[in-house]
Structure 1
Amino acid sequence: MKKSKNISLGLLSFPSTKTGITPLSNMVEILLAVVGDLHLVSGNESCRKFQDDNRLELYCTHHHSSSFSLKRVWNYFYLQLSMALYVLQLRKVDFWIFFIGGDTLLLPMLMARLTGKRVILLFAGSSIQTLVHRQDKFAGVARRVSHLNCSLSNAMILYFKSLKTEWGLEKYEDKIIIQPRHFIDTKNFKRNPASPREYIGYVGRLSQEKGVMNLVKSIPLMDKKVKFLICGEGPLKKEIKEYLRVNDLKNQVELTGWINHQDLPDYLNRMKLLVVPSYTEGFPNIILEALSCGTPVAATTAGAIGEIIKDHENGFILKNNYPSTISGFLEEFLDYENLDKIRENGYQTVAGFDYNKIKKNWDDLLYRFYEEGL
């Protein structure tokens, strides 16, 4: 019996790109399973995803990105204002969870606190580290806003303990709760023994902080017989295509563009290895999805990856994400003879992220916050 069935919960999340839909969808599924009413405030891809879902109340806004500073500031202010007005409108919710990008949404936070609502900041990743690695001119301002929102929040949820230090959140120790939200649909994400594993793969946003360009620059250092599969969309797509053209790598690399989540198991089963060369992460769901498909993972220790992937046990840890390091590792990996053990340990890792267990933990957590404020 769920304890949180009487809770009316507000979930506020920065308008999603396609890459943000999976973590938001997983979080929504968990919350729908435990609370009585869910009110989602978001926009862009989030609204397209949930517009026909009658299990929740959806409140849509829209965010336009821009390369012009003044227009970018105005767009961000307008987004925050529209979200803050939804928070004002939804006084019937018992409390709020601010999810993706929520630590930088100051106006909605102020509105929630002014109307007497408690707020949980749920960190999907570090907005600040993402901006820093993109060399964004607004990273310093965003850092100050994030710390202000952390101070105003009633509680903060991180997926793993290591993220507290990784993201510089130690001074909020008394507010921090460790609670993963990751779970895997093992009925769909499973190994296909009949699928030929021809590719070294990457799945994710094509952006600076993901380190994907480092992987691309490792390809000329490899034997031309090694094939690569790069899946995703993002601001580096044109640069990647041009690099492949200039270095005559187009026949060695397949760029798939965006992949629908339901098709992802087929692509993971085409990979002999998934590479996650990120500079910064929370904990990417794609790692668990790959392991569930029997696809070994090689990753940096960004975010909480090092808490889950143990080198040469259930995957491989890259010492860094330099192109020479990646290519050197890949040459060794192609001769690796004990992948069956790695795969079996990977399956055991995934088993720890059982949906029913995660659901119960969230039910307990939300009920305690509702009753006691934690």
Structure 2
Amino acid sequence: MYNVKLNAFLIETKALSRILKGIFNEIYLVKESQGTLDLNVLKGDSEEKLIGFPLPRNRSAAFLLKHIVCVFYFLKVSKRVHFVILSNVSDYPLTLLSIGKLTNKKIVDFIGGSRVFLSLVILHSKTSFLRKIASLYALISLNIALRISDKIILNARRLAREKPFIVYKDKVCVANNFPSEDFFEKFCIRKRFVERKLVVGYVGAFTLAKGICSLAKAMRMLLEEVPELEVIFVGDYQRSEPPVLGHKILHFFDEYRDRVTFTGQVHHSKVADYLNEMTLMIYPSYSEGLPHAIIEAMACGTPVLATPVGAIPDIIKDRETGFLLKSNDPKYIAERIVELLNQPELLEKVSINAYNYVRENFSYEKTLER
């Protein structure tokens, strides 16, 4: 069994590997972590790191090295491999997939939600020629991978009805994100909702697909209107898409730096601390699957205000387990936030409902059953 994990949440990597270990005797794992590409082999409960490659800072060089290493490692173990499994891969190793197909391996692709949208945005935006080429490659390689995959696994049923996945509906199935076994130990209520200050926040990537520009404009309006409000942006603004976006948003709040926090890159274990400070988390994405950040916020009793894209409406029922946005317009987002902040009893009720809903429906055991 071979799992290529180039770009993914660490929580998903652990849980997916743990599930697969119950099916396969050996898992040959390629994963990117903190600037290195690690080659591991998993046997039962043991995980042995074979080697780690430091990745160059240059994206093109890192892209080439990843693909060369993946192919080399695959060829080395291919005789013992029956499946090639990809999980949230952004740059498909087409050479590896082609070799896998030619050698009769079963190919399974786990796909996240905003990949297609983000690639299209970059392709049609004012950015460098190389970035446009990279986005074009991402779209082309995705379509090739979908064509040659034996099974396509999406984390939102709605995605199956969208392009390009609708063409492959006969081999598409849906599975929720995989939480880790200790998820609810890490993400839990540490500060009661009534004890939290007036803090509105965001957790996630600084990309156009996440609606971060609209959110920044809305937050700026709120800071002018609500003097006691504080804002937290949790995420690595230095690795934004496009690259200049993060610093533009940072400087957009220069005059409010005493009330606006940009955490930069934080360890995943620290995210719960920030979520427990928030009265409301905003998630105005244009395209999604089922974001980890929303499940994590709900587990911490933090109400979420989000756009109804991907699988978000499946878990957020408006005014019951969260709140839904009707548009990504900054003025509308700001007005909706003010409306909710003026209803603390409703927020507290939704906080409790969200906490209970996630614990009942997203435990490790429950997800494994599905």
User: What TM-score do you get using the length of structure 1 for normalisation?
Assistant: 0.83
Pairing of 1:10-89 with structure 2 (within 5 A): 10-15=2-7, 20-32=9-21, 34-45=23-34, 47=36, 55-58=46-49, 60-61=52-53, 63-64=55-56, 66=58, 72=60, 75-89=62-76
Describe the SS at the equivalent of 1:202.
strand
Q: What letter corresponds to residue 2 of structure 2 in structure 1?
A: G
Cα distance in 2 between the residues matched to 1:338 and 1:49: 46
- Among 221, 232, 235, the alignment partner of 1:232 is 235
Unaligned segments of structure 2, at least 5 residues: 126-130
State whether structure 2 residue 350 is matched by structure 1 residue 342.
Answer: yes
CA contact (8 A) 2:41 2:48 kept: no
Match of residue 182 from structure 1: 178
Q: What letter corresponds to residue 10 of structure 2 in structure 1?
A: I
Following superposition, the deviation at residue 127 of structure 1 comes to 2.5
Match of residue 365 from structure 1: none
Q: What letter corresponds to residue 301 of structure 1 in structure 2?
A: P
Match of residue 202 from structure 1: 202
Describe the SS at the equivalent of 2:366.
helix
- Among 80, 98, 102, the alignment partner of 2:86 is 98
Describe the SS at the equivalent of 1:157.
strand
Q: What letter corresponds to residue 310 of structure 1 in structure 2?
A: K
Match of residue 321 from structure 2: 314
Q: What letter corresponds to residue 136 of structure 2 in structure 1?
A: G
Cα distance in 1 between the residues matched to 2:111 and 2:269: 25
Pairing of 1:139-218 with structure 2 (within 5 A): 139-183=135-179, 185-194=183-192, 196-218=196-218
Encode CA deviations 1:16-39: one digit per residue, 9 max, x unaligned. 5xxx33333332343345543221
CA contact (8 A) 1:43 1:61 kept: no
Match of residue 368 from structure 1: none
Cα distance in 1 between the residues matched to 2:356 and 2:155: 19
Following superposition, the deviation at residue 197 of structure 1 comes to 3.7
Match of residue 133 from structure 1: 121
Structure 1 segments of 4 or more deviating over 4 A? 46-54, 57-67
Describe the SS at the equivalent of 1:140.
helix
- Among 254, 257, 267, the alignment partner of 1:260 is 267
CA contact (8 A) 1:103 1:149 kept: no
Following superposition, the deviation at residue 298 of structure 1 comes to 0.5
CA contact (8 A) 1:44 1:61 kept: no
Cα distance in 1 between the residues matched to 2:169 and 2:196: 48
The alignment covers a number of residue pairs equal to 343
Identity across matched positions, percent: 27
Encode CA deviations 1:110-135: one digit per residue, 9 max, x unaligned. 12112221110111234322222333
Following superposition, the deviation at residue 325 of structure 1 comes to 1.6
CA contact (8 A) 2:156 2:176 kept: yes
Say which is worse superposed, 193-202 or 147-156, in terms of deviation: 193-202
**Alpha-carbon spacing, 1:50–1:88, altered in 2? closer, same or farther (3 Å):** closer
CA contact (8 A) 2:276 2:302 kept: yes
Q: What letter corresponds to residue 253 of structure 2 in structure 1?
A: L
Encode CA deviations 1:140-161: one digit per residue, 9 max, x unaligned. 3432221111111111111121
Cα distance in 1 between the residues matched to 2:316 and 2:70: 37
Encode CA deviations 1:304-361: one digit per residue, 9 max, x unaligned. 2122211111101111222112101111011123223312321332121121132344
Unaligned segments of structure 1, at least 5 residues: 1-8, 362-374
Cα distance in 2 between the residues matched to 1:152 and 1:52: 26
Describe the SS at the equivalent of 1:290.
helix
Tell me how large the CA RMSD over aligned residues is.
Answer: 2.6
State whether structure 2 residue 313 is matched by structure 1 residue 293.
Answer: no
**Alpha-carbon spacing, 1:151–1:51, altered in 2? closer, same or farther (3 Å):** closer
Match of residue 108 from structure 2: 120
Q: What letter corresponds to residue 122 of structure 1 in structure 2?
A: F
State whether structure 2 residue 363 is matched by structure 1 residue 354.
Answer: yes
